[in-house]
Each structure stands twice: as C-alpha cells, then as structure tokens.
A and B are shown apart, each in its own frame.
Chain A
Amino acid sequence: MVRFRDYLLIQYKRIFKLLFGIVAMILVVAMLLSAAGFALMYSDTYASENQKYKLGVVGDTDDEMISLGVYMIGTLDESRYMIELVEYEDEEAARAAMRNAEISAYIVITEEFSDALNAMTNDAKLQYYATSGQKGISNVMMDEIALIATHIIIYSETGICTLRQLMKEEGYDKAYRHEKINDLFMVYISALITRTSVAEITELGLSDGLSTPAYYFLGILLFFMLLLSFCAISYFIGTKDAQYKFMKSKGINSRAQVVGEFIPFLTINIICVLIIMGLITAVCSSGMIDEEMLASAGIDDFGMITLNLIPVCVMFSAFGFMIFELLIGVINKILVAFMLYIGMAYVSGYFYPKPFFPEIVQRLGEWIPSGIAFSYMGAGLQYEPQETYLLIMAGYAVVFLGVAIFARRQKIR
C-alpha cells in the first residue's frame, strides 16, 4: 500500500525536474511586466500625477473665437486637467504624429467651420479624427475627448458671439461693439479666474484610495501572480487519465492525488514569488527606482507585500490547478487559461481603473477571485483590515480544489 507521502514526494521530484523551465518562463514574464510597470511609473503623466491626452489641432486658429477657445481649453477650462492641445501646420503632420502615438487624436478646423461659427450657424462640423485602436487608457477616454473637442467653442463664447450679432443687428457701430465685447470678455475671464479658486483639488488616486503608482503596481503584480500558474503549465502536460486510474488502483484516491499534486505546485509558485520579490527588492534598493516615489505610493515595505502575496498565491494556484484539471488538451489549456486570466484581470481593473466600467461589471470585478485579491492587497498597502478578504480567498481556494477533486474523480471513472 503506497502512502500519500510517497505520492507527494514523487510529485515534488517531478516538478523539480521541470523547475528550470518554469523559473525561466516566470523570469521572462516578470521582465516583461516589470518593463510595463517601469514605463507606467516613470511616464511623465504619472510622474506629475496628472494624466493628459494630447489632442492635435490643424487649421486656421487665427479666428478670434477659435483662438480664444483654444486658449480657454489650455488654460482655464476644466478640461485642461486631461487635455493638452498641440497645434500642427497641416493634417499630414497631425496624422504622422497620431501614427507615432504622439497625440491621441486630432481635430481639423476648416474655413467653412470658421465661417459657420461667425455666421452663428451649425452648417459645418468640426472634423475629429482618431484611430480605432489607440493604446492604453485613451480607448476608454475617446468619447470624452471627442466631446471636449466639440466644446472648443465653449458655451460662454457662444453667448458672447450671440450678443455681438444682436448688437450688430440693432445697429451699434463697430467700435462700440468691440469695446463692449472686450468689457464682457474681461468680466467673463475675471469670473472664471475667481471661480477656479472656489474648489480645492485633492488627488485621491485612481481607485480604492490607492495612488496611481500603487494601483498599477498592484495590477501588474497581481497579473503576474495570475500568470504564475500559467508558467508552470508543463506540470500539467503529459499526465494522462491512465496515470490517475493506475494510482487509484494502487490506493491513492482522487483527493490524495489532487492534494499531492497541488502542494508541490504551490511550493514552486511560492518559490517563484520569493525569487521575483527578492529581485524587485534588490532593484529598488539599488536606487534604480525612486525610493521616495515608492514610499509616497505606499509600496516601500516589500517584506509585508511578499507576505501578503502568499494567500493570493494559494488562491491563484488553486484556481490555476482547477482550470488545468478541467480543460483537456495542451492548446486548449494554454488558450483558455490565458484568455480567462486576461479577462479576469481586465474586469478586476488590473489594466484600467475600475470606475471606467459599468456598475455591474465593477461589482462582478470586485467579487471574482482576481478582484478579491486586489482588494486584499490594496487593504494591505493601506494598513486596513484584510481578514474578510482572507476568508473569502480561503473559501475560493477550497472550492477550486474541491472542483479539481471532482473533475479528477470523473476522469478516473
């Protein structure tokens, strides 16, 4: 009669034979994600804690109203927090800049548009151009940018234009009209300047009270944790139902098999987490990353982060184990697992902040395993209670292993 210990030992032996390949794959994934994380942390937008999207402007901006609109957006309008206008001489230059991802989109102000504006008609539209697959968060922001672009003539200017037209129709002479319009502009600008001081802007971060760097650091770290089980897929390839049946005939039932295989799998994953966190700590200690910036984002205690990652590792390992147990065929395992991980990470806000999603998707994203892991890690960074998340994660891990045992039992039958 073979004992559980013998089965466990043979599985350890097996996974350690695969260790080199698993660690190599994990290091490659870690390097790619680190590069993405480094780019995020050190991009100008995040460095200044102020994400702006560049919008190209092509055409005649000499018109009084348009030049004022451009000035307002760039200096006074609330959209200045998210939009930076860049002027181009012609459309070709703007298009080239968009291809090079220097701007997110561009607008073309045609002569017809200027004429229509001055004639107080809406005959000619502002032409707005954007690519269908712009990188990063600009995809989500595209509608918002388009809206702002149409407001290049802001509401107050519409009122001023209307007043000028009425004065003209009422027969006031040109000099008088200019004088009054200028007075009105000055009153308007004074009001705007005064109004900006009625509110004080405080940066609360993207979501969950985390700062932008902390949010994306967690997103990347947890996505890496998801991919961890994917990196060890070789452990799940090559096993056949005949092996499970044979083991059962020798007294090792499906529960003992799953637990005996899961423990070495988890061990390897934890070893890899320790290696990666050790590397991250070493890189941060070497001064390659601004320690002050990390400290202000609350991601300076790597020991605590590593410790917090262990329960996440247990849950994600159990999840990975279940997925690989349920799926049949190498290609199927790889494709479905990858798509599933990407989907879960996306919905849980690993790549885009959750508030951009519809309410129902936000709720779903919070309660799926990837979302619970995010909330748990976020609470850890902010020294908030984590017990509830810990319990939910433990529950998830037990359920995943239970499903894996059930699937193994079905395979044996």
Chain B
Amino acid sequence: MIEIKNIKKRYGKHQVLKSVDFNVEPGEIVGILGENGSGKSTMLTILAGLQRADSGFFNIDGKDLLKHTKLRNDVVAYVPQETPLIQELTAWDNLRMWYSTDRLKKELKDGFLAMLGIDQFIKVPVNQMSGGMKKRLTIGCAINSNPKLMLLDEPTAALDLVCKERIYTYFEQFKRRGGSLIIATHEVQEIELCDKCFILKEGVLSPYKYDGDIPHLIGRL
C-alpha cells in the first residue's frame, strides 16, 4: 500500500501544492489530471526525490520514502516527459548502465524489455531513434530495479497509436505483476486506463470519476 499524505510545496509566494493526499493500492493505475502548470510534474518530482516537499509523507509498506533515499531509488521508477537518454550512445549502451550484461540479455530475450520491443532497435543510437523508441527505452532504463511504483509524466504525449498501444500493454503487464503506476496525463486513452483519477487544481487534489464526458472533464479542470 502506497500512502501519500499532506504533501505541500511552495515556490516563493506561490503555493504550488497545498495539500496532496491519496493512496495507491498494489496493481493500481492512478491518473493525475490538471491544466499545464497546475503542479502535476512538481508532485511527481517530489515523489521521485528530485526536489524536497515542504511537508508530508510518502510511505510504501510503512516506510517514508521522502527520508529513505536509497530505498526510494530501488522501489520507485521515474519516467520524465522529455527523453533522459544519452543521445550519442545506442540503446544497448544506455541500458547497460542500469543492467548487468547477463540480465540485460535475458530481459531482451523474454523479459519486460522484449515486451517493450527494445530488442528490435538495440543497436540504434538514441539520436537516430523515433519518439516512441526513446520513450520505450526510457521506461526500459527506469524499471531496472523491478520497482513497485512507476511515476510517469505524460508518457505517451506526441506518440503514434501503435507505440501508445505497446506502452499501454506494458502498463497492463506491470499492473498484473502487482506494480502501481501514477501517471500525470492529458491523454483520454490513458485516463481510460486508470483505475482512479484525481484532478489537481490550485494546489489541491480532488477525486474525479471519468465517465467519457470530455466537456465535463474540461469544465472541472
């Protein structure tokens, strides 16, 4: 069980996050919706340990990950919106940083990396890859430690439908294995994939049940 309680963050006079409270069950996908600049990315970066919260808790199995940095690095995977890959190197080189050679070969043969289709472009340098390839490779790099939770910042923005489908299939597999996902998104397909959604507005997170009514969703944002 993942508990996120009373997370607050202020930049100068601007209170970006006033109170963020929610729980995530194992095998659950949680969607965070909100306008651009509403604080979705800030929330994810706090959970990923990139910046400090002014207050709050982020507990997994009773341990506060805001304090246990090393544990957080192992159990939480963060996939940023932009590509974090090393451009000059191939997919293999990028993955090799996070995986041992034996494990990498195994994952590419019949593991999650094969499921993401990374084996098909393993020798391609990142600067010659399509957006979809980069995103799949980023996810591949992020999940090296078999995380319990994945934090994804607009994971399929600007990707083609085939690529999106492949990534969603992977999310389903990850979920089936008991992993949890928190996705900051604007994509309707991703919202439909979520088990529960929250809208982040004026620093406050409130539950939202998506029923296919897009005008209503827009009105809430």
Contacts and interface: CB of A to CB of B under 8 A. Distances in A.
Interface of A: 1-2, 6-7, 9-10, 13-14, 17-18, 238-243, 245-251, 412-413
A14 B84 contact: no
Contacts of A249: 48-50, 73, 76-78
B115 interface: no
A242 B88 contact: no
Contacts of A18: 88
Given A249-B49, A250-B142, A413-B51, 18 more contacts: A1-B73, A1-B145, A10-B93, A238-B127, A240-B84, A241-B82, A243-B86, A245-B80, A246-B78, A248-B49, A248-B50, A249-B48, A249-B73, A250-B73, A250-B98, A251-B73, A412-B50, A413-B50
A412 B89 CA distance: 22
B97 interface: yes
Q: Which of A10, A243, A250 has most chain B Cβ within 10 Å?
A: A250
Given A249-B48, A249-B49, A14 B89 contact: yes
B169 to A, nearest CB: 23
B109 to A, nearest CB: 22
B74 interface: yes
B16 to A, nearest CB: 12
Main SS at interface, chain A:
helix
A13 B83 CA distance: 19
Contacts of A412: 50-51
A22 to B, nearest CB: 12
Contacts of B88: 14, 17-18, 238
Interface of B: 45, 48-51, 69-70, 73-74, 76-78, 80-89, 93, 96-98, 127, 138, 141-142, 145
A250 B141 CA distance: 10
Contacts of A17: 88-89
Nearest to A250: B73
Contacts of A241: 82
Nearest to A412: B50
Contact of A242 (B70, B84, B89, B98): B84
Contacts of A239: 87
Nearest to A242: B82
B72 to A, nearest CB: 9
A1 B84 contact: no
Contacts of B84: 240, 242-243, 245-247
7 contacts: A1-B73, A240-B83, A245-B50, A246-B78, A246-B84, A247-B84, A412-B51
Nearest to A240: B82
A14 B145 contact: no
Contacts of B93: 10, 13
B49 A1 contact: no
A250 B151 CA distance: 13
Contacts of B82: 240-242
Contacts of A246: 78, 80, 84, 138, 141-142
A352 B110 CA distance: 67
Contacts of A242: 80-84
Contact of A10 (B73, B89, B145): B89
B48 to A, nearest CB: 4
A242 B97 CA distance: 17
A243 B85 contact: yes
A249 B143 CA distance: 12
A246 B81 CA distance: 10
Nearest to A243: B84
B45 A2 contact: no
A1 B98 contact: no
A204 to B, nearest CB: 51
Nearest to A253: B69
Contacts of B141: 246
Contacts of B51: 412-413
A242 to B, nearest CB: 4
Contacts of A13: 89, 93
Contacts of A10: 86, 89, 93, 96-97
B98 A14 contact: no
Contact of A1 (B74, B81, B86, B87): B74
A14 B90 CA distance: 10
B87 A238 contact: yes
A243 B50 CA distance: 12
Q: Which of B97, B127, B141, B145 has most chain A Cβ within 10 Å?
A: B97
A2 B98 contact: yes
A297 B51 CA distance: 57
Contacts of B73: 1, 249-251
A240 B48 CA distance: 18
A366 B206 CA distance: 62
Q: Which of A239, A247, A249 has most chain B Cβ within 10 Å?
A: A249
A266 B85 CA distance: 22
A14 B80 contact: no
A379 to B, nearest CB: 40
Contacts of B127: 238
A243 B88 CA distance: 13
A349 to B, nearest CB: 38
Contacts of A245: 45, 48, 50, 78, 80, 84
Contact of B86 (A14, A248, A250, A413): A14
B128 to A, nearest CB: 13
A238 B141 CA distance: 19
Nearest to B126: A238
Nearest to B51: A413
